[in-house]
Structure 1
Amino acid sequence: MQKVRKLVTTIMIAALITAMEGTTILPLSHHVKADTNTVLQTSQAENDLTKYKKINGIGDNTVLGADFSHYQLQKNEWKKVWKNYKGIEVSNVFEYVRSQGINTISVKVAVNPTKDKEGNESYLSLENAKKTLKEAKKAGLKTNVTLLYSDDITYAGVQKLPDGWDTDSAEEKALEYTKNVIKELKAADAVPTMITIGNEVNYNFLTLSNWDGYCAMAEISKIVKDAGIKAAFSFAAPGKASDIQYIIEQLGYACEKYEGAGYDYIGVNIYPDTHNENYVKTLKNTVEEKAAGKQ
C-alpha cells in the first residue's frame, strides 16, 4: 500500500458552497454610472475584508475547494452572471476563484441521474461534470470528482443504491462503473486530479456491512490509483470526533490482499451549525495522529 501523501479533514461549509455556486446575481449594464449607494457598499465591502487575516501554513497539498456541481445548470439554463465583492462582473469564474485562493473545483456525479422534463442533463450527470472539469483545468485549477454510487445525492443515513443494483452485486457493479467513468473522462480529456469515493459514507458504503464496505472502497481505490489519479474517501462526521479513529483503523485492515485501503486523502464532512470548534480540533488531531505516515 502506498504511503499516504496527505491527510486532511475537509470542512464542507454550506454557506461557502452557496456563495460560490448558488447565489443569483443579475447582470448590470457597463454604461450605468455608480450611484452613492453603490460606492458606499463597495467601500464597506473593502473595509470588511480588512478584518480577515490570511491563513498561513497552508501547503500545496491542502485542498481548498468549492463545489461546482450546479455550474452547467446555472450557466446554460439559469443564465447566471458572477460578480466579485465590488459588483464587477467576472468574465471567467474559474480564473476568479483561483485568484481568491481556491485551488480545487469539485463536481458530484450520479450513476443514473434523472433528466428534467425538457430532457436536459441533470446537474449530477457525468456529461456536465466533463464540461466543468475541462473549464476548471483550463484555468489552472486542480479538480475532484465525487462518485456517489447512487442515482442521487447521498448522506450519512442515505446511501441508496442505483437503479438495477442490489447489495449482492453492488461491489462488482461499482468496480465496473468506476472503470467506465475513468475511461470516459480520459476520452474527454477531463481526467481529474482526484476522485472521491462515496459521499458522507457512514459505515454503509454500497449498503454493505462495515468490513465489506471498507473492502469495496479499497478495491475501487486501487482502480483509481492505478489510473494515475489520487484517491480520496468521504465520510460523514461520527457522533464523537474521536470515533474517526475506528474508521481509520478499519481502512488499515480492509481487504487483506491490499494490506489495507490505499488513499491519498480522507475527508470528513462537518457543518458549522452542528459541530463546534472543539469537535473540529479533536477530529483534526485524531486524523493526524492515527493516519499520518501509515503504510
Structure 2
Amino acid sequence: MKTSAHMSLVQLAFEMTSLRIPVANIMPLRQLSPAVLKSVKYAQIAASIAEVGIIEPPVVVRDEKDPNGFHLLDGHIRVDILRNRGETEVVCLVATEDEAFTYNKRVSRIAIVQEHRMILKAIEKGVSEERLARALNVNISSIRHKRALLDGICQEVVDLIKDRHVPINTIGELRKLKPFRQIEAAELMITMNRFSVSYARSIVAATPESQLVRGSKSVKGLTLQQIEMMESESASLDREFRAIEQDYGSDHLDVVLAIGYVTRLLESAALVRHMAQHHAGILEEFQKIAELQKAA
C-alpha cells in the first residue's frame, strides 16, 4: 500500500504546475535506435498523437546553466514524433530531481502498463474507444482488454512488474491468484527472469485452491497427486528464494570487496612480474577478475 509520506515524496519530485516548452529547448538524454524508430510501438504512438494528441506529458528537468534549457527524462519517442511533425511546443511535467533513475523508480515504464495508463487518461478526457482503436490501429475488443489490464491485480504486484516486459496474458494468469499469492508469483518470475504465459500457468497450477480467486479453475489434465507435487515444488522454490534474498546483500558485498582487493594487487608491478614468473595461471585468472571490475 502507498503511504501518505510516499505520495508526498512523489509530489515533491515535480513542480506544482506543468509548463509549455519549445521543443527546440528540450535536449534528449539518449538517441532512439533505428530499431525503435521502425517498431510497431513507435508507429502506434505516432498514430495516437495524430489522432488524439499528447495524453501523457513528457517529463523534463531544468538545465542548471541555461535557464531556457531542459533535459528530457521521459518521453523520448513522443518528443521525437512531435519534432518530425513540425510541432514547436509541448506541455511537460518538470521534475525537481536531475536523475532519470530516481524518476523511473516511481513511474510505470513498461510498454504494456504505459499503454494501459494512456488509454485510461484518454477515456477520462472523453476520447471514445472507437477513436482510440483507430489511433492505436487495433480493434475495439483489444482496447477494452487493455483498459481493464490491471483490474484484479494488487498495487504491490504493479510496483514489482512495472519495469518488466510482461505479456498481457501473463497478467491474466496473475489475476486468478489472491493478492498475497500474486506477490509471491511476481517475485518468483522476477527471480527466475521468466514472464511467459506458460510459466505463469505453472505457478497457478501449483497454487493451493485456498489461494486462488473463487471461480478460477485448476489446470485440466492434472491428477490430484500431480497438483500436490507441484504445490510442494512451488513451496520449496519459494523457500529457496527467501534464503537467497536474505544472503544476497552480504554475498554481493563480499564479491565486491574481493574484486577490489585483487584489482589493487595487480597495481603492483613487482607482484605482477613475480606472478608471471611463478604463478602464471593464477595471474591470468586475477586479470580476468580485474577485467570484470572494469566492465562493471
What TM-score bracket applies, with the shorter chain setting the length?
under 0.3
Q: Bigger radius of gyration, 1 or 2? A: 2
TM-score with structure 2 setting the length: 0.25
**More helix as a share of residues:** 2
The structure showing larger relative contact order (alpha-carbon pairs under 8 Å, at least 6 residues apart) is 1
